[in-house]
Amino acid sequence: MPYFSLVLVTGDSRNGQRSRNGVAAAPASPEPAGPAAELLVVGLGPGPGHWLTPEASEALAGVDHVVGYAPYVDRVPQRPGLTRHASGNTVELERARFALDLASRGERVAVVSGGDAGVFGMATAVFEAAEEPGYEDVPVRVLPGVSAVQAVAARAGAPVGGDFAVMSLSDRLKPWSVVERRGRAVAGADLTLAVYNPASRSRTEQIVTAREVLLEHRESDTVVVVGRDVGREGESLTVTTLGELDPAAVDMRCLLIVGASGTRVSAAGRVWTPRWVRS
């Protein structure tokens, strides 16, 4: 089983250490099982601490366990009484079951995601796992976060001010043919398109093909914003066009906003899309 390793979470680890290698089995509770606790799913925002909402911050201060992908768990400061359970990418369902197991025993748990947990994040994995037998009594509450599209859009100006669509270019959880079909539909409908997960170390061709698909319906001077590490150290924002977009400059730390035909660049270089569309 490539994703699993058993980590025994001892009494010591409750006060400072964390389980990092894979997804651990939920620790056996020394107490008799009580009523299930509410499982929180918390979006941490796309980068800096001041993009964490006060509600999310307060929720994280009140839990005993934080469960998530390692880089996100790292963003929750350690404190006495908190156990942080970090695991690798691509084990969303196992991670969700782990959190549900803890909550079903009455432990106060937050599953954390970057950005908004409901946007290509852990919230859906939690609901998917929660449909399995045994979790009926665990209430789940999702706390909103600032999503990367909002952060990149704000930095650029107001490119998603009109109708827009959001897609992930990752074909890990859906066939590439679906990505292409949806991309064509969005481009044909003249929607602004926010593109998450445009590339990774092993996925470099998708953005090349996606650009070609969009160009079937869109002019080459369509405005494109490439936001990289927005809100984080090394942030960059590039305003280019679909024709001139360099796929080699796009990686997994980027979010793209491909404008609609009405999207424009102001004299000061700000990108915005009017809410009105001429009939």
Ligand X SMILES: C[S@@+](CC[C@H](N)C(=O)[O-])C[C@H]1O[C@@H](n2cnc3c(N)ncnc32)[C@H](O)[C@@H]1O
Residue 196 binds ligand X (CB under 6 A):
yes
The least distance separating ligand X from the CB of residue 76, rounded to whole angstroms, comes to 16
Among 252, 262, 264, 265, binds ligand X (CB under 6 A): 252
Residue 171 binds ligand X (CB under 6 A):
no
Phi/psi for 21 (5° steps) reads -80, 100
Among 22, 27, 68, 121, binds ligand X (CB under 6 A): 121
Instruction: Supply angle C-alpha 103, 109, 114, rounded to 5.
Output: 130
Distant-in-sequence, close-in-space partners of 203: CB < 8 Å, separation ≥ 6? 169, 170, 171
The least distance separating ligand X from the CB of residue 45, rounded to whole angstroms, comes to 8
Q: What is the DSSP string of 67-96?
A: EEEHHHHTTS---TT-EEEEE-TT-HHHHH
Residues 80-119 binding ligand X (CB under 6 A) are: 113-116, 119
Among 51, 72, 98, 120, binds ligand X (CB under 6 A): 120
Among 147, 192, 222, 263, binds ligand X (CB under 6 A): 147
The DSSP bridge partners found for residue 83 are 65
Residue 68 binds ligand X (CB under 6 A):
no
Assess contact for 261 and 201: CB atoms under 8 A: no
The CA distance from 50 to 145, in Å, is 11
Positions touching ligand X (CB under 6 A) are 46-47, 113-116, 119-121, 147-148, 151-152, 196-197, 227-232, 252-255
